[in-house]
């Protein structure tokens, strides 16, 4: 059979071009990727062999072997894992499926220098071979295939690859790298030993390097010239092949945790934090959890699989087991190893067992306390919060049991701060509450600026009451679903009844009543003129600098933000009518009221009403009519 020529998926070609031309500074990572793939392939077969031991009876000892040939200039990485069929090789080595790579491609700018830095942030897996090789040959045989159904795949990394069935006498995969002339240091055993130790010490499969074994030369007899020692090569195990998480945490260095994270998560960056725990007692388990530095691009994609790696008695069972953590912690990577589940546990079974529920509860607590620890370091927490703050906000609603613990971790901007940074916790807020204040005031708007400058805040600001400023879409939803924290009720500054309570003061209340009765005529005139455009017109108790604002019916619980959210999702909503609040001390309102000509007054009324709508919603249904009215009055 002759080999078939295939074109790579377009993204792969782009990626390969970039790899070939990049000034990639950390070339040796190709070895980590290939060892990682070999180890994954062995884990998969190990798992299958639990129920079908015959699969490995010919070659039962799992191992990864690495051999350099200086004459042929090849570096060969061999594993006796699950192997690939021809179809699998064509699709797995010809397309990019892994999410990280997908994200990488999206982030490419075309600027070679920037792009090559980006490689450092995303995994490119198998294709990293082309950093050091100008040709890669893959020989493989799937565990399910006969000798004749072996595969030979080859590419020079230039847009095409060839593949064909060939006879392969062994199970597993052999990656043969034809090393570039500029990269021959990767043919030196000392260099290889160095890299292997660095990247594979934590891998539970033995990694063996083909090395020269020193044999002393036979003693020379009297009068004879001493003989050159004979050169002998053999495979020697380089890594200690003990799964990292089974070792005592105190003996593990941070770098080891970080390297293991990269193997486990296919992330190229170090994690932000890790937690390694061995728990004894009625439910024995070990967990190793990581918080990544960067959110994956598909964090909000419902279809994306996520979850921990599951091991039972140190045997890899499954990837992305989502049953161990709630959805709002889906960014956490890591593994759990327990003796309390059967080796043949299925995904379905996992969902239902009490062991899973107990583990989920414990692991959730652990992650929340990890995040709590991060919060002690302000800079680190800011870094974390930028990436994952909005996901965390799903928590108080999804996980009622941990509601308060999660709320404690949330951060917001506030009128107390001079910038938009998210640094104020509910606890901070409570510690600064005014005497007599028993509510937590917040406002949701389109942006930080809109929140900060909202007319709804004027009265609260004038009283020196802090207001939390929120502008993320999820904030509206979150605040609509929780009512209190630490016994303090949340009150939206947008709501009609601001519930100032004791803060308003008796005198102020009386004054408001007086103001209302004094301005009866004003209110009536606006009402008559605006007609059914508005729901009602009232005299405001909160406006200080602005002439007017609009409020939606608090009892309907649908604030403007929520409306926009629903409209954006394609729902048709009936037009909502608002109550117009007037500030009778404002010059514009007074000027309007002074108009004796009703037509003129109507223009003022329209302007005062529509500018309130505009301030609140950032847009008007009929902006040109607004502009017309405004120009008419300006050019008077």
Contacting residues toward ligand ADP, per CB under 6 A: 33, 37-38, 41, 79, 81-84, 92-93, 98, 123, 125-126, 173, 266
Pairing relation of β-strands 439-444 and 484-485? unpaired
* Count of other CB atoms within 10 angstroms of residue 372: 13
Q: Which residue is nearest to ligand ADP (CB)?
A: 125
Instruction: Determine whether 554 is exposed, middle or buried from the number of CB atoms within 10 Å of its CB (0-12, 13-18, 19+).
Output: middle
Residue nearer to ligand ADP on the CB measure, 85 or 437: 85
DSSP character for 547?
S
Q: What, of Mg ion, ligand ADP, none, does residue 82 touch, CB below 5 to 8 Å by kind? A: ligand ADP
Q: Is the CB of residue 76 less than 8 Å from the CB of residue 192?
A: no
Q: Minimum distance from CB of 123 to ligand ADP (Å)?
A: 6
Q: Minimum distance from CB of 21 to Mg ion (Å)?
A: 22
Q: How many residues at the interface with Mg ion, by CB under 5 A? A: 2
Residue nearer to ligand ADP on the CB measure, 41 or 409: 41
Q: Minimum distance from CB of 575 to ligand ADP (Å)?
A: 51
Q: Minimum distance from CB of 125 to ligand ADP (Å)?
A: 2
Contact flags string 289-328 toward Mg ion, x per CB under 5 A: ----------------------------------------
Strand segments, DSSP code E, in 512-551 are 536-539, 548-551
Residues 6+ apart with CB under 8 A from 477: 397, 562, 565
Residue nearer to Mg ion on the CB measure, 98 or 438: 98
Residue nearer to ligand ADP on the CB measure, 93 or 560: 93
Pairing relation of β-strands 315-321 and 439-444? unpaired
Q: What, of ligand ADP, Mg ion, none, does residue 296 touch, CB below 5 to 8 Å by kind? A: none
Phi then psi for residue 579, to 5 deg, are -90, 130
Q: Minimum distance from CB of 210 to Mg ion (Å)?
A: 23
Look at the chain and count its residues.
Answer: 636
Q: What, of ligand ADP, Mg ion, none, does residue 79 touch, CB below 5 to 8 Å by kind? A: ligand ADP
Q: Minimum distance from CB of 123 to Mg ion (Å)?
A: 7
Q: What, of Mg ion, ligand ADP, none, does residue 38 touch, CB below 5 to 8 Å by kind? A: ligand ADP
Which residue in 454, 382, 383, 438 sits closest to 412, CA to CA? 382
Only segment of 31-39, 74-82, 205-213, 547-555 that touches Mg ion (CB under 5 A): 31-39
Output the CA torsion 329→333→338→341 (10° steps): 60
Sheet holding 548-551, edge to edge: 536-539, 579-582, 548-551
Q: What, of Mg ion, ligand ADP, none, does residue 98 touch, CB below 5 to 8 Å by kind? A: ligand ADP
Q: Minimum distance from CB of 301 to ligand ADP (Å)?
A: 17
Residue nearer to ligand ADP on the CB measure, 44 or 180: 44
Range 101-160, binding Mg ion (CB under 5 A):
125
Which residue in 459, 469, 367 sits closest to 421, CA to CA? 469
Q: What, of ligand ADP, Mg ion, none, does residue 81 touch, CB below 5 to 8 Å by kind? A: ligand ADP
Q: What, of ligand ADP, Mg ion, none, does residue 395 touch, CB below 5 to 8 Å by kind? A: none
Q: Minimum distance from CB of 37 to Mg ion (Å)?
A: 4
Q: Minimum distance from CB of 331 to ligand ADP (Å)?
A: 18
Q: What, of ligand ADP, Mg ion, none, does residue 84 touch, CB below 5 to 8 Å by kind? A: ligand ADP
Pairing relation of β-strands 488-492 and 439-444? parallel
Pairing relation of β-strands 579-582 and 548-551? antiparallel
Residue nearer to ligand ADP on the CB measure, 146 or 447: 146
Which residue in 399, 429, 398 sits closest to 411, CA to CA? 429
Angle between helices 623-634 and 598-617 (to 10 degrees): 130
Phi then psi for residue 157, to 5 deg, are 70, 30
* Single residue of 22, 37, 402, 437 touching Mg ion by CB under 5 A: 37
Helices (H), 215-333: 254-265
Residue nearer to Mg ion on the CB measure, 264 or 406: 264
CA separation for the pair 516, 507 (Å, rounded): 14
Can you read off the two tokens belonging to residue 592?
A: 């309007």
| Interacting residues with Mg ion (CB under 5 A) | 37, 125
């Amino acid at each position: 059979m002759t080999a078939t020529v295939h074109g790579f998926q377009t993204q792969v070609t782009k990626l390969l071009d970039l790899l070939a031309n990049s000034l990639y500074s950390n070339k040796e990572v190709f070895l980590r990727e290939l060892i990682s793939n070999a180890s994954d392939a062995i884990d998969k077969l190990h798992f299958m062999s639990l129920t079908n031991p015959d699969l490995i009876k010919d070659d039962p000892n799992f191992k990864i072997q690495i051999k350099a040939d200086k004459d042929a200039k090849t570096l060969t990485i061999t594993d006796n894992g699950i192997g690939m069929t021809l179809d699998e090789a064509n699709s797995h080595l010809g397309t990019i499926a892994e999410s990280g790579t997908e994200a990488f491609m999206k982030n490419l700018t075309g600027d070679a220098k920037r792009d090559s830095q980006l490689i450092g942030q995303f995994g490119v897996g198998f294709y990293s071979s082309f950093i050091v090789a100008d040709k890669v040959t893959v020989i493989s045989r799937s565990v399910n295939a006969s000798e004749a159904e072996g595969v030979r795949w080859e590419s020079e990394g230039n847009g095409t690859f060839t593949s064909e069935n060939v006879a392969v006498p062994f199970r597993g995969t052999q990656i043969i790298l034809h090393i570039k002339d500029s990269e021959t240091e990767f043919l030196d055993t000392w260099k290889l030993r160095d890299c292997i130790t660095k990247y594979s010490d934590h891998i539970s499969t033995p990694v063996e390097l083909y090395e020269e074994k020193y044999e002393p030369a036979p003693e020379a007899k009297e009068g004879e010239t001493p003989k050159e020692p004979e050169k002998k090569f053999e495979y020697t195990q380089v890594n200690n092949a003990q799964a990292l998480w089974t070792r005592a945490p105190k003996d593990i260095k941070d770098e080891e945790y970080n390297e293991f994270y990269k193997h486990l998560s296919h992330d190229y960056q170090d994690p932000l934090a890790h937690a390694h725990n061995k728990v004894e007692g009625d439910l024995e388990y070990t967990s190793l959890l990581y918080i990544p530095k960067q959110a994956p691009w598909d964090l909000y994609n419902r279809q994306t699989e996520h979850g921990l790696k599951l091991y039972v008695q140190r045997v890899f069972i499954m990837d992305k087991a989502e049953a161990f953590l709630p959805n709002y912690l889906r960014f956490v990577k890591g593994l759990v190893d327990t003796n309390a589940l059967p080796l043949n546990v299925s995904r379905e079974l996992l969902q239902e067992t009490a062991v899973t529920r107990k583990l989920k509860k414990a692991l959730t607590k652990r992650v929340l306390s990890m995040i709590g620890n991060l919060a002690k370091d302000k800079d680190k927490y800011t870094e974390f919060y930028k990436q994952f703050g909005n996901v965390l906000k799903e928590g108080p609603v999804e996980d009622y049991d941990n509601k308060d613990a999660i709320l404690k971790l949330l951060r917001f901007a506030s009128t107390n701060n001079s910038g938009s940074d998210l640094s104020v916790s509910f606890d901070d807020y409570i510690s600064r509450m005014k005497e007599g204040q028993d509510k937590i005031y917040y406002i949701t708007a389109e942006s930080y600026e809109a929140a900060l400058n909202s007319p709804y805040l004027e009265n609260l600001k004038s009283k020196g009451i802090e207001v939390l400023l929120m502008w993320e879409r999820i904030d509206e939803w979150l605040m609509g679903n929780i009512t209190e924290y630490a016994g303090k009720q949340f009150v939206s500054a947008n709501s009609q009844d601001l519930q100032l309570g004791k803060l308003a003061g008796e005198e102020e209340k009386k004054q408001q009543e007086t103001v209302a009765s004094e301005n009866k005529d004003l209110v009536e005139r606006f009402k008559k003129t605006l007609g059914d455009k508005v729901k009602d017109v009232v005299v405001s108790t909160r406006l200080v600098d602005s002439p007017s604002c609009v409020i939606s019916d608090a009892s309907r619980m649908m604030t403007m933000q929520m409306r926009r959210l629903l409209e954006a999702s394609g729902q048709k909503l009936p037009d909502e009518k608002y109550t117009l609040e007037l500030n009778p001390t404002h010059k514009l309102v007074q000027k309007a009221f002074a108009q004796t000509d009703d037509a003129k007054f109507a223009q003022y009324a329209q302007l005062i009403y529509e500018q309130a709508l505009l301030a609140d919603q950032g847009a008007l249904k009929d902006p040109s009519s607004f502009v017309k009215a405004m120009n008419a009055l300006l050019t008077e």
